């Protein structure tokens, strides 16, 4: 069961989505010099949104990639505390710093996960409920799918998804839901 969980988790990760989210977070950190409570929140949320949107697929993918992809800003900030630790004007016990960093990363990650959840669902094609009987190509990695139009056949398409996963042909989309 644990093996399945980790395999599933690993399968949900999108390196590209996370990297882009992280890089944007670091860039914004460098632009927004002052750390106040108003500026980091939309940045962290936005990075999570971008990571979720790029990752695509199921809601779970948005949450996982949004969580990790949103950490560029807080990771850069907290790294500075550790790098300049000996020169801090006010002495903070290292244990307090580690606990604070953990809390900040979890809070930022949750904000990012929310952004990722929204991002992934904005990207998702609208499921209008009349998929039954429709033919689809479904990615086994990111969960993205393409609905075949009238007159299109699965042979017209590549069997590789843009995420690197394999596209499988399914008659009824509901068969693939977990």
Per-residue binder mask for Zn ion (CB under 5 A), 80-119, x = binder: ----------------------------------------
Binding to Zn ion by residue 138, rule CB under 5 A? no
Question: CA-to-CA distance for 91 and 89, rounded, in angstroms?
Answer: 6
Near Zn ion by CB under 5 A, which window of 45-53, 93-101, 114-122, 140-148? 140-148
Q: In terms of CB distance, is 109 or 165 closer to Zn ion?
A: 165
Report helix, strand and coil shares of the chain as percent, to nearest 5: 60, 5, 35
Binding to Zn ion by residue 120, rule CB under 5 A? no
Buried b (16+ CB within 10 A) or exposed e, 159-176: eebebebebeebeebeee
Binding to Zn ion by residue 142, rule CB under 5 A? yes
Binding to Zn ion by residue 62, rule CB under 5 A? no
Residue ranges in 40-149 assigned as alpha helix (H)? 40-55, 59-69, 72-83, 94-123
Task: Note the residues at the interface with Zn ion (CB under 5 A).
Answer: 139, 141-142, 144, 161, 163, 165
């Amino acid at each position: 069961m644990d093996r399945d969980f980790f395999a599933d988790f690993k399968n949900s990760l999108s390196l590209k989505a996370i990297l882009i989210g992280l890089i944007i977070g670091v860039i914004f950190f460098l632009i927004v010099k002052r750390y106040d409570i108003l500026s980091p929140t939309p940045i962290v949320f936005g990075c999570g949104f971008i990571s979720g949107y790029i990752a695509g697929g199921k809601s779970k993918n948005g949450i996982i990639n949004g969580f990790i992809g949103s950490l560029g800003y807080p990771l850069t900030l907290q790294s500075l505390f550790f790098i300049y630790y000996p020169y801090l004007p006010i002495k903070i016990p290292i244990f307090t710093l580690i606990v604070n960093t953990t809390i900040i990363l979890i809070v930022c990650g949750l904000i990012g996960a929310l952004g990722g959840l929204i991002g992934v669902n904005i990207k998702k094609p609208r499921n209008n409920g009349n998929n039954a009987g429709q033919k689809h190509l479904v990615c086994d990695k990111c969960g993205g799918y393409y609905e075949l139009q009238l007159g299109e056949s699965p042979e017209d398409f590549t069997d590789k998804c843009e995420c690197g996963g394999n596209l499988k042909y399914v008659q009824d989309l509901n068969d693939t839901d977990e």
